[in-house]
Amino acid sequence: MSGFESVEREDFDDGEAGIEWLRASGFQFPGVPFPHRSSRLHYFHSKGFTAMLFMVVERFKDRRLTAERFRRNGRMLPEDVTYDASWMVLDGGRCFQVMEAPDQDTLMTWVRRWDDIVDFEVVPVLTSQQYWASKEQSA
């Protein structure tokens, strides 16, 4: 048995319910190793802090304004928020990003810097490895 056969539908709660379930089970949010990790995030983890992963979906209200602001100001990330990777849809209307932050409130500081020209969907996520390890810890 691979472990997948016994998974129930409620095991896939998303958002805050899923995070609360993980916290209640004693799961710690470890930093996730990405080969292109920034030195700032390396410093963050070296001080003993852990980060949560987020899948962020951006829908651009105005691509021209978004591109201009990005060229002028960069990502405008708070000190303890890290961009890991992103993917654009072919028409350029949406971007899917993996971000790391100590918590969702900290990530929302970044969202507020852009939400006048970008709509955001923020979903707390785990890597598959983290998810299945958390199931083994709670079993």
Instruction: For 31-87, write each residue's pLDDT tens digit.
Output: 444 334 444 445 545 555 568 899 999 999 999 999 999 999 999 999 999 999 999
State the residue for tokens 């960069």.
74
CA distance 134 to 139: 9
**Is the CB of residue 134 less than 8 Å from the CB of residue 126?**
yes
The fold for domain 42-133 equals Alpha-Beta Plaits (3.30.70)
pLDDT for position 24: 53
pLDDT for position 82: 93
**List of residues 6+ apart from 133 with CB closer than 8 A:** none
Helix (H) or strand (E) holding 56: strand 52-60
* Average pLDDT value for the chain: 76
* Overall pTM surpassing 0.95 (yes/no): no
CA distance 106 to 136: 29
Domain range summary for the chain, segments of one domain joined by +: 42-133
β-bridge partners, 86: 97
Q: What angle do CA 125, 30, 99 make, to 5 degrees?
A: 45
CA distance 21 to 44: 25
Around Cβ 129, how many Cβ atoms within 10 Å? 9
